[in-house]
Amino acid sequence: MADLTEDLAGLVESVVRPLVDAPEELEIDAFETDDDAIVVEIRVNEEDAGKVIGRQGRVIKAIRTLARAAASREGAQVEVELID
């Protein structure tokens, strides 16, 4: 499951990095919870948060959908969160 966690973090990073103006401030943390779910946390510059969220939340919703689809192949649950 650790490999899947790293893979999902890499997937999210590869999608988010081109969206932001300050990629050096991008931080992606992924970890497993006690109930075997995977949480991927995205931290970006305050000014880039809107780009990651998108209009009406479309971009972050698409990122979540992509991560869930990738995790479903292994039968895992995944949550993607944008941390302020």
Q: What is the pLDDT of residues 14-55, one digit of tens each?
A: 999 999 999 999 999 999 999 989 999 999 999 999 999 999
Give the pLDDT confidence of 33-43 residue by residue, as tens digits: 999 899 999 99
**Residue 65 DSSP label:** H
**Domains of the chain from N-terminus onward:** 2-83 (3.30.300.20)
3-state class (DSSP) for residue 43? strand
What is d(CA 9, CA 41) in angstroms, rounded to the nearest whole number?
Answer: 9
Q: Are strands 77-83 and 27-32 parallel, antiparallel or unpaired?
A: unpaired
Question: For residues 16 and 30, is the Cβ–Cβ distance under 8 A?
Answer: no
CA 42, CA 13: separation in Å to the nearest integer? 8
Alpha helices, H only, 1-84: 2-16, 49-53, 58-72
What does the pLDDT average to over 68-81?
A: 94
